[in-house]
Amino acid sequence: MSCLWWSFGIMSSATTIGFLVLYLVAFTTSSQIVLNSGWSLSNANATIGLTELSLPSGVYTALQNAGLTGSVLHSYNDVNLRWIALDNWTYFLNFSVTDEILASKYIILTFHGVDTIGQVHFNGVEQKSITTGKYELDNMFIRHRFNIKNLIMEPYFKSFSYLTVTLTSPVTAAKSLAQQYPTTPPECPPNVYNGECHMNFLRKMQASFSWDWGPAVPSSGLWKPVVLEYYNSVLIRDITVKLEENLEEDLWFIHMVVYIEAGSSVSDVRGTLRVILADFPGSENSFRVDDKTDNRGELALSLTVNVSRSDVELWWPNGYGKQKLYIVQVIFDPRDLPRTRGNSILHFRQEQAFKSIKIGFRTIELIQEETYANGKEGLSFYFRVNGVPIFMKGTNWIPASILPEKSFSAPRVKELLKAVKSSNMNMIRVWGGGVYEDDRFYDLTDTYGILIWHDLMFACAMYPVYPDFLNSVREEVHQNVRRIQSHPSVAIWATNNENEVALVQNWYHTGGDRARFEQEYRKLYIDVVKKEVEATDPWRECLSSSPSNGRQTEAEGWISKDPQDWHFGDIHYYNYDLDAWNPTIYPRPRFVSEYGFQSLPSLRALESTLLYSDNISQMIDHRQHSPLRNFPMTILIKRHLPLESLTGNPQEVLEAYIYFSQVSQAMAVKTETEVYRANRIGPMNTMGALYWQLSDVWVAPSWSSIEFNGNYKILQHWVKQFMAPLHIIPLVDSLKNLKIYVVRDTLGDNQEFTVRLHLHHWAGFDVKLEKSWSLDMEENTVVLLDTLNFVDIFGSEVMEKSGFLYFLLEDTSGRILSTNFIFPEKLKDAQGIANPYIDVVVASNRCSFSVSQISLEVKARAPAIFVYLQIYNTRIQTYTLSKNGYIQLEPIQMIRLEFENENCATVLQKSDIRILTINDYLKTTQ
């Protein structure tokens, strides 16, 4: 889950390689050298020395790549390799520069990300950051700039310079800081985490010190590029944008702030700033600039341009329309510059500063209007995009890797975000214990239409408020909000994850000094974080926390009596005491930004983490970081599935338990999500459901829907259906009344549908009873189609045990748009279940562009419950199936299997396919 103790509280090269070139285009196109290769690394006592390292880099990764250690994610290495985090490390680089660089007015050494506590020496001299005015680096989220012009111009260093970055153990640094300031809980994570203490004293990825879903990997390194920037005038660092639709003038106004940097403080900036809308011919606008930079060499220029509304195509979230993006180019042409090389083209290219961004024309509003529901006043809480109220369907995003230097792995991040899009989601929540993601991450969310609920990077703790900490936070927020702001996918900011509710509910035993912690909470999140967000991006909503009561929280002095009040804002909801397959247990709130249930990863994934001597059950126990252990999973399984019947081979028993856990997780998250979707027309007007969590950072029990190896759990296969834009939702209340809802999340004219209810007996495929409805449905709404009683359908409770209900939503041509099901009795108590004699045939095998596409023919003689296919083949590590964990109600079901196959070799055999069904573990009639 998102929080620690939720369960308790309830030489350098003049050329650059492709990766880093792509990275830096997002920053600026001024003249620069990316110092990405030729680094060396050593520890404090010089017992380890590595050479020829490339950036981005982290110490754990560097040692593994050199063959000195195994992966920190393998076996028990999260503990065995902790010595790496307890040592101090030094990165070193020799490099030389050209006469062209030396002739530049400014030569700036820029570190885009140092993890985390360190010092920079250039040519033996300790450097003071222009950014912070300090010698020590203490925040992995901050970009640091160093003016090295004078040092590099010394005669000895004109042909040879050297750069040293010394990094202090993050564990030691955190402990030292904690000893200097008042106790700020939680001091340490639960013992079951195998973690490290005082994460809250460091401005680094909070999950680095462990979480209930991840290992402690307290990283150090240069996790982003190091760049030598040289120029004679300025560079353009960032551009923020506000888009304003003016109906009266039939225009879109593009309000921009262009952030310019010079290489020294209080510098004259004279020239012309040109704005070109590349997609609109003749749209160039010019603005005269005659100003000075501030003490840090920075200058913010505000300007406005416009385009006709009729020329613009709107940007829409996934499922509602296209994601049209437009290019904005900003060019600064300086005046009165000294000429040292004549009028060469190269010379003028160097002087001109240029930056390009993409924007999407859309409006987004968080609507919080007074309402009266369930006998209590409250506030609505929903997003309106381009004037349309949109139900937010999605998930929570943790970093793609626990190692910061790998947190943007282009293939992995792209595959994860493609899964979000293809599963009909339209929002993710970037969770506050991770990192501010790479520019390319936001480019992808823009392209895919995935809106972002964006936490600032504070999670599950009280935080210190000494001046240096607050100053560092202020710079962190300023830089990152400014960098991310122009992306149309960013919907909202929240200053932290769960820290208000932790304070109010006394998670960390702060009640004895409540006044102090309330004061510090407001000082950090309201006076610093929220203030800085709103100064940089005044056009988006910034919530004081998540969960929170939204605008009501402000009315209560920024700390609510109950941050989980269903009548306001968003909530996080976890309940392991009740039956999660039962829809009646769930709240009907405004917006649910976290909820979820654990499951185990596949047996194959678990086996991939083991050494020969490791015991798989002990490994599961070691990696189960929830303080409640496997207890909630086991109890939920026992409620519905025949767990007690598992006997025999321990490997087969474990395989069945894993399968049951994934079925149980999928059913629970499906049920909860469908309750929230149906309650859009309830009195509380629920308008958002973001489950916890999308992916994993290692192979372990967790709340994820996608395993660490990239393979889908059953839940991820189901998400595509229960978050589909057209969906049928049957919900049963405590009196066995069946309410049938139809959801339409699309725009356009009314659509006609047919809804069918089929009564099946477990013994065969034939339909015992059919009932149908016709529906003429408006856009973007939910309809309660009908209410029935089980007795009227089944006739008796005895019959309820021998059958189940299957629902189909069809269009006018008979095409099935959505299906769903209801089990009137718990599966373990069902009667008359037949043996489906499940079998599979490899029907066809095609391969093109190094991707194999295989059609599998799954055969069954009777209804098969939650058919689960797994591929056991060492040459097929990651694969996708068109469906999995499904109910088979026909003799033959075609399944598409895809995987990368570089040589298009025939690798899959029938024996590689393992199929499980719930029928396998129940008493069958034949």
Q: Which of 669, 656, 736, 752 is nearest to 705 (CA)?
A: 669
Does 365 participate in catalysis according to the annotation? Answer: no
Contact 479, 143 (CB under 8 A): yes
Q: Which of 51, 25, 125, 752 is nearest to 443 (CA)?
A: 25
Q: How many Å apart are CA 455 and CA 545, to the nearest integer?
A: 8
Helices (H), 136-243: 149-152, 170-180
Q: Which of 271, 274, 298, 272 is nearest to 284 (CA)?
A: 274
Residues 6+ apart with CB under 8 A from 19: none
Contact 758, 807 (CB under 8 A): yes
Q: How many Å apart are CA 564 and CA 553, to the nearest integer?
A: 11
Contact 260, 237 (CB under 8 A): yes
Helices (H), 297-367: 345-351
Contact 744, 726 (CB under 8 A): yes
Edge-to-edge strands, sheet with 326-334: 285-292, 268-277, 326-334, 353-359
As beta bridge partners, residue 320 has: none
Catalytic annotation, pick one of 405, 541, 594, 707:
594
Q: How far is CA 843 from CA 123, 877, 887, in A?
A: 66, 21, 20
Catalytic annotation, pick one of 196, 498, 655, 810:
498
Strand spans (E) along 499-590: 542-543, 570-573
Contact 485, 239 (CB under 8 A): no
Q: Six-digit token pair at 577?
A: 């005491």
Contact 504, 559 (CB under 8 A): yes
Name the 3-class secondary structure at 483.
helix
Q: How many Å apart are CA 396 and CA 695, to the nearest integer?
A: 9
Q: Which of 840, 518, 885, 572 is nearest to 703 (CA)?
A: 572
Q: How many Å apart are CA 660 and CA 673, to the nearest integer?
A: 20
Name the 3-class secondary structure at 473.
helix
Q: How many Å apart are CA 144 and CA 132, to the nearest integer?
A: 8
Contact 287, 275 (CB under 8 A): yes
- Gap between the terminal Cα atoms of the chain: 43
Helices (H), 624-649: 631-640
Q: How far is CA 14 from CA 34, 102, 347, 421, in A?
A: 8, 14, 17, 39
Angle at 576 (CA atoms; ends 575, 579), nearest 5 degrees = 95
Q: How far is CA 310 from CA 126, 213, 313, 845, 904, in A?
A: 56, 49, 8, 49, 49
Residues 6+ apart with CB under 8 A from 249: none
Contact 755, 728 (CB under 8 A): yes
Contact 670, 727 (CB under 8 A): no
Strand spans (E) along 628-717: 688-691
Does 369 participate in catalysis according to the annotation? Answer: no
Phi, psi torsion values for 677, nearest 5 degrees: -65, -40
795: left (phi over 0), alpha (psi -120 to 50) or beta: left
The whole-angstrom distance between residue 553's C-alpha and the CA centroid of its chain comes to: 26
Q: How many Å apart are CA 789 and CA 39, to the nearest integer?
A: 71
Q: Which residue has the tokens 């993890």?
A: 115
Q: Which residues are catalytic?
A: 498, 594
